[in-house]
Chains A and B, each alone.
Chain A
Amino acid sequence: MAVNKAARLCGLQAGQSMRDARAIFPGLMLRQAEPEADARALKALAKWCVHYTPWTTVDGADGLWLDITGCAHLFGGEACLLKDLVARLSNIGITARPGLAETPGAAFAIARFAPSIEIHKRIIETGSITQALAALPAEALRLEDDTVILLQRLGLRTIGDLMELPRAPLEKRFRAIKMSPSVLHKLDQALGRVGEPLSPLVPIAPYRACLNLAEPILTQDAVEYGLEDLLLRLCRDLGRHQQGARRLTLYAYRSDGGVSQITIAASRPSRDIKHFQRLFADRLERIDPGWGIDVLILTADGTARIAAHQDSLIQTEKDASQEKLGRLVDRLSNRLGAENIRYAEARQSHIPERAESWVPALSTTRGDSQRREDAPMRPSRLLARPEPIQVLAEVPEGPPAQFTWRRMPHRIIRAEGPERIAPEWWLEEGADYSRIRDYYRVEDNEGRRFWLFREGLYQLIEPPGAPRWFMHGLFA
């Protein structure tokens, strides 16, 4: 059982049983623990903290790591950053105990076990790690419970005690119990002798522009204005390194602890601010400002090198129209979804629905289509899925004389076929001859032309089963 501050003031402690707690305070409110929901909320909080530094990750079930190397000056110093963080978290309703040190181990120790609440006392200055950690209890080293009990029995209550002991006997003593490597390792990590890398939760984008707003903004116009500023800075950065961006993500950090993001993609890397503004304009209404947006961050996730080109005096018409086409594709794909704007590419397959596949227009790789010169006649429209039809056919291998499709009967007067297409046994296991298709190109008495097939052979299917007929395509 976990308790909050108000409960603790009434005399309740964490770990008590429910009955005892109720006895002490009858009007107690109890809530079921939901560890998964807590974990998700913690992760969301870590993502929210990304506006302090992109290097954030979750620590256990109740902590966060933030690597603020190089970010502190943006907030006016380390102490100010911690104060700001604690203040904002308490605005959301979360009591946070910060700790700042050179190593994650030391920061963990000072955050959880520091005796005073004052921010200054919770920051370990460079070079004073040993002093600061000496007074903290041994479990601040992230040790197992039984290890801690053992250390207490040996009289090693604080980290300082551990540090005073020579290493070799410590190692020898604990090796038999198989706990020593862990103790010494954790000590070394805390003191910085051994590195402890943290992997960030959100992958860090190579190019990033940050805008801290003095007051929370609520309107879309304000977001557009901020976006313009960010685009200017980001594109300038990209220009310095001769890079162009293909994917941009805008993160909006709200003061209530939520994050909204929108991503745009372009088919060619570019640094064109106007183009990106237009692509974002379609999507900006998806950002929900909530109680106000405090921070806007624009990251370029996918970049590629583009040569610094001078706008040539005589830009060839072909280049110009290619560029215009690229922009059109970007605009349509970002508004309607990249998978809806596509090219048709031929594939090596004679199963009709696999002989061609859709490739999104935004993807750069446009493989060379393998188009055959002597391709058999195919309909100009193909149904998404072959639709079953009811058929009246005379002979085992003849075209239908009449069929009913979508409840309309058609009488066939002309037919060509069958064109036999068997399943590709080299691709599928268990591809058997019951799925052989015999395609017929037929015309009905009103001049409408269809492409239908029979699946299965009469000879191979025992009665009362019968091969089934399907409509697959429409000719002009």
Chain B
Amino acid sequence: MTERLTAEDLPPLKTALSDDAVLEDGAGRQARLTALRRHITEIEGRTVTFDDGSRYGTHGTCHTKEASQAWDFGLPAIDRNLPDGSLATGAMHDIIARDYPDGPASIGFCLSLLRRLRDSRAISGAHIFLWCQSAASARNFGFPYGLGMTGFGLDPDLFIFATVPRDQDVLWVLEESLRAQALLCVIGEVAGFVDFTATRRLSLLAMEQQTPCLLLRQAGNSSASAAWAQWRIASNLSGEDLLSGEGSGHIRAPGAMRWCLELIRCRGGRPGTWDVEWNSATGGFNMVAALADRKTGIPRPAAEPVFFQKRTG
């Protein structure tokens, strides 16, 4: 780390020490100290912890001593690739599906992130998510279904849903919602191409308002983006189903949700690829072992299989 701070860079503290100057009151001195700390943090390019316990993160995010839990994955394998081991809450994140049919998987990943975010904050029930989708996106993958969100441990009453005709309207809604400072997280689902300028605006707004913004994009639309992190999601074969068990010889039910995560880029972090499984009961991720004995196909038995039957109605 080369020494780049020179005497001219420092704010003029020496005037406060001169004999004939009036002693500065505490507030002015404190402000100068804060400015100095931020300056140092920007130079360092990483979070710096100072002697009095205050930490300043990159790009102006400030973690005070009373910070709530970090918004992370709970898995060291992933968290160590993120700067400070957690996702930035004052930033915009891109979530991109790898192929067109991976759209629902990216939506599921987004919901799991929302669950993690909600768990990491002490929610009093007033904080709310806004989910905005364009009409084209609704045609592709349907509408959000509240009863399905309970599967992620999220209460659908926490959401406001918006369906708008065009992608530009989605971006407008995201900007307005960020400016309002009334939501915990803002999610947008676009079907088409989003240009760099729009992502930069969203990113700046998210940073200014310290509210995370998640943008779900479809496959092939991951162009240059000003997002803080870009994720690429692909669907993956599900895990073991605990009910039907191994080796029963019958067709098994789909098990726990699994996805392939790829962190394409992250400011201050390192890219990586992981296979994760979502555990909705605990609201956490599990790593999928590399050598899993996944069976890709089960031979059908000749006899009529017995299924897990439920009768309703």
A residues at B contact (CB < 8 Å): 318, 321-322, 324-325, 327-329, 331-332, 336, 340-344, 346, 350, 352, 355-356, 358, 361, 369, 371, 375-384, 394-395, 398-399, 401, 408, 413-424, 441-443, 445-449, 473-476
Inter-chain contacts of B296 with A (CB < 8 A): 413, 445
- The answer to whether B126 touches A341, judged by C-beta atoms less than 8 angstroms apart, is no
Inter-chain contacts of A417 with B (CB < 8 A): 307-310
- The answer to whether A476 touches B107, judged by C-beta atoms less than 8 angstroms apart, is yes
- The answer to whether B161 touches A420, judged by C-beta atoms less than 8 angstroms apart, is no
- The answer to whether A414 touches B159, judged by C-beta atoms less than 8 angstroms apart, is no
Is B68's beta carbon under 8 Å from chain A? no
Closest Cβ of chain A to B51, distance in Å, is 31
Closest Cβ of chain A to B296, distance in Å, is 6
Is B116's beta carbon under 8 Å from chain A? no
Inter-chain contacts of B126 with A (CB < 8 A): 318, 321-322
What's the Cα separation between A342 and B169 when bound, in Å? 16
- The answer to whether A420 touches B310, judged by C-beta atoms less than 8 angstroms apart, is yes
Q: Closest 9 A-B residue pairs measured CB to CB?
A: A476-B108, A416-B253, A324-B182, A344-B146, A380-B148, A422-B313, A328-B180, A325-B182, A382-B145
Inter-chain contacts of B74 with A (CB < 8 A): none
What's the Cα separation between A31 and B305 when bound, in Å? 80
- The answer to whether B307 touches A473, judged by C-beta atoms less than 8 angstroms apart, is no
Contact of B161 among A343, A371, A408, A449 (CB under 8 A): A343
Inter-chain contacts of B157 with A (CB < 8 A): 343-344, 369
- The answer to whether B147 touches A328, judged by C-beta atoms less than 8 angstroms apart, is no
- A414-B238, A418-B309, A445-B296 known; A408+B101 contact, CB < 8 A: yes
- The answer to whether B161 touches A358, judged by C-beta atoms less than 8 angstroms apart, is yes
What's the Cα separation between A401 and B301 when bound, in Å? 13
Which one of B31-39, B54-62, B136-144, B218-226 is at the interface?
A: B136-144
Contact of A476 among B234, B257, B305, B312 (CB under 8 A): B257
Q: Name which residue of chain B comes closest to A337, CB basis.
A: B164
Contact of A343 among B143, B160, B312 (CB under 8 A): B160
Is B85's beta carbon under 8 Å from chain A? no
What's the Cα separation between A340 and B297 when bound, in Å? 43
What's the Cα separation between A418 and B183 when bound, in Å? 40
Inter-chain contacts of A371 with B (CB < 8 A): 150, 155-156
B residues at A contact (CB < 8 Å): 101-105, 107-109, 111, 124, 126-128, 138-139, 141-152, 155-157, 159-164, 169, 173, 176-177, 180-183, 234-238, 241, 251-255, 257-259, 278, 296-298, 300, 304-305, 307-313
- The answer to whether B307 touches A415, judged by C-beta atoms less than 8 angstroms apart, is yes
Closest Cβ of chain A to B80, distance in Å, is 26
Contact of B148 among A332, A358, A369, A379 (CB under 8 A): A379
Inter-chain contacts of B152 with A (CB < 8 A): 380
Say whether chain B's binding surface is mostly helix, strand, loop, or mixed.
Answer: mixed
- Can you spell out 28 A-B residue pairs with CB atoms less than 8 angstroms apart? A322-B126, A327-B182, A328-B183, A341-B160, A344-B145, A344-B157, A352-B145, A356-B146, A369-B156, A377-B151, A378-B147, A378-B148, A378-B151, A381-B145, A382-B145, A383-B143, A395-B304, A401-B300, A408-B101, A414-B255, A415-B253, A416-B241, A420-B313, A423-B313, A446-B101, A448-B105, A448-B235, A476-B278
- A371-B150, A380-B148 known; A473+B142 contact, CB < 8 A: yes
- The answer to whether A399 touches B251, judged by C-beta atoms less than 8 angstroms apart, is yes
What's the Cα separation between A81 and B169 when bound, in Å? 48
What's the Cα separation between A103 and B160 when bound, in Å? 55
What's the Cα separation between A448 and B103 when bound, in Å? 10
Q: Name which residue of chain B comes closest to A445, CB basis.
A: B296
Closest Cβ of chain B to A409, distance in Å, is 12
- The answer to whether B107 touches A380, judged by C-beta atoms less than 8 angstroms apart, is yes
- A380-B152, A413-B296 known; A475+B145 contact, CB < 8 A: no
13 further interface pairs, Cβ-Cβ under 8 Å (given A341-B161, A416-B253, A419-B311)? A324-B181, A324-B182, A325-B182, A325-B183, A375-B150, A380-B148, A381-B104, A382-B144, A408-B101, A416-B307, A422-B313, A449-B104, A473-B145
- The answer to whether A414 touches B148, judged by C-beta atoms less than 8 angstroms apart, is no
Inter-chain contacts of A474 with B (CB < 8 A): 103-104, 141-142
Closest Cβ of chain A to B32, distance in Å, is 29
Inter-chain contacts of A324 with B (CB < 8 A): 180-182
Q: Name which residue of chain B comes closest to A369, CB basis.
A: B157
Q: Name which residue of chain A comes closest to B252, CB basis.
A: A414
Contact of A336 among B105, B169, B308 (CB under 8 A): B169
- The answer to whether B151 touches A380, judged by C-beta atoms less than 8 angstroms apart, is yes
What's the Cα separation between A411 and B163 when bound, in Å? 32
- A325-B180, A476-B108 known; A350+B313 contact, CB < 8 A: yes
Q: Which of B146, B169, B296 has the most CB of A within 10 A?
A: B146
- The answer to whether B254 touches A442, judged by C-beta atoms less than 8 angstroms apart, is yes
